[in-house]
A = this chain, B = another copy of it.
């Protein structure tokens, strides 16, 4: 079985690269998907494609909905959803994705620093694994897909 893994959340550090590189090196049967991580494209796609908006609310609204075409579809087709919470910003979209995945019954792996444990307790309690490093995510995927962590 080829596993589809959706990488949700923070887009400002290189964690996605670390996870995908680790999986490639270990040659695991995993295909990745995720949101568009080009921040300007993601914020501007609504007005860029469908026309300008005077009100910032509707500008954001049009962008968020176009992104939702992508993201909800990919979460629905994922076998595992990894949700990353970083150090900055409020990242409500990451928590939203976790709730969305939880209601669909998708296995969730959260990835965040120990210091956010208390603030993320509801999210973590819906996860099947709580990781602190991208390497741990790779190890989990290695175990889950072939039974042996990477040595």
Contacts and interface: CB of A to CB of B under 8 A. Distances in A.
A36 interface: yes
Nearest to A57: B117
Interface string A41-74: 1000100111001111110111111111110111
26 contacts: A3-B73, A36-B143, A49-B149, A57-B130, A60-B125, A61-B121, A61-B124, A64-B121, A64-B124, A64-B125, A66-B128, A67-B122, A69-B80, A69-B109, A69-B128, A69-B144, A73-B79, A90-B90, A90-B116, A92-B120, A92-B122, A96-B96, A96-B99, A96-B123, A98-B99, A100-B103
Contacts of A65: 125, 128-129
Contacts of A56: 117-118
Interface of A: 1, 3, 33, 36-38, 41, 45, 48-50, 53-58, 60-70, 72-74, 77, 79-80, 85, 89-105, 107, 109, 114, 116-126, 128-131, 136, 139-140, 143-145, 147-149
Contacts of A50: 129-131, 136, 140
A94 B96 CA distance: 8
Query: What's the dominant secondary structure at chain A's contact region?
Result: helix
B100 A68 contact: no
B136 A49 contact: yes
Contact of A68 (B49, B85, B126): B126
